[in-house]
Amino acid sequence: MKRFTIGRTAKAAGVNVETVRFYERRGLIEQPARPAGGRPREYDSGTVARIRFIRQAQDIGFSLREITELLSLRADPGADCADVRARAIEKREEVSARLERLSRMRDALDLLIARCPGGGDLRCCTILEAMEGNAGAGDSASFGTATTARKGKSEMKTTTMTIKGMHCDGCARTVEALLDRVPGVRKAEASFDAHQARVLHDQAEAPEADLVAAVAKGGFEAAVERP
């Protein structure tokens, strides 16, 4: 069996030297006896494998303590095999539970991802919404957008814009949301088929340039249509 210094062992296992020593102190790996003459300790490929296993197990979510237990599952000649077996079964249960939990996590993420339109404004970001948790639980405002009703003379007007970059109805909804959030916009409707948006807005508070800019923030290109 090949022999390594601690440095090479660490490198081979993808950890650093301090970590190897740390594992030794923790009893996760055995510290090889020091050869006579003050020469460096010699590690072998078994140690490397062991360290790799430790990292794998950690990555999966086991703590070092649990990993110690996993590693100690072995049948020493003479050891009580029934005991090993019992512990292995116990561990298997733990692993199963963990699997289930992780798998639920993945499902949750899948659901989030599937429902997300994948682009556009955060207003319609279903991921954030969903994570807000608890069945929508009303409110969920918290995104600012303080629809302050400003005073002053208002000159309402309807503007039609041609929008480039909408790929689906979801995009149209996004455009609407973007427009809705411009202060001074009373109503916004976007159509994917027509590649257009119609906006009822206060000309003073929400000039056309603001509308175009708002839409641009979502990655769309807007041009005001003049009849």
Using CB under 8 A, which residues numbered 14 to 43 contact a second copy? 14
Using CB under 8 A, which residues numbered 192 to 211 contact a second copy? none
Query: Do the Cβ atoms of 205 and 153 come closer than 8 Å?
Result: no
Using CB under 7 A, which residues numbered 43 to 102 contact DNA? 54, 58, 63-65
Q: Where are the alpha helices (DSSP H) in 116-136?
A: 126-131
Asked if 22 touches DNA (CB under 7 A), the answer is yes
> Is the CB of 75 or the CB of 224 nearer to a second copy?
75
**Full DSSP string of 177-201:** HHHHTSTTEEEEEEETTTTEEEEEE
> Is the CB of 155 or the CB of 169 nearer to a second copy?
169
Query: Do the Cβ atoms of 182 and 212 come closer than 8 Å?
Result: no
> Is the CB of 36 or the CB of 114 nearer to DNA?
36
Find the distance separating the first CA and the last CA of the chain, reported in whole Å. 85
Query: Interface mask (CB under 8 A) for a second copy, residues 75-104, using x and -?
Result: xxxxxxxx-xx--xx-xx--xx-xx-xxx-
Query: Do the Cβ atoms of 163 and 139 come closer than 8 Å?
Result: no
For residues 204 and 153, give the distance between their C-alpha atoms in angstroms, rounded to a whole number.
Answer: 8
37 binds, among DNA, a second copy, none (CB under 5 to 8 A by kind): DNA
Binding site for DNA (CB under 7 A): 5-8, 15-19, 21-22, 31, 34, 37-41, 54, 58, 63-65
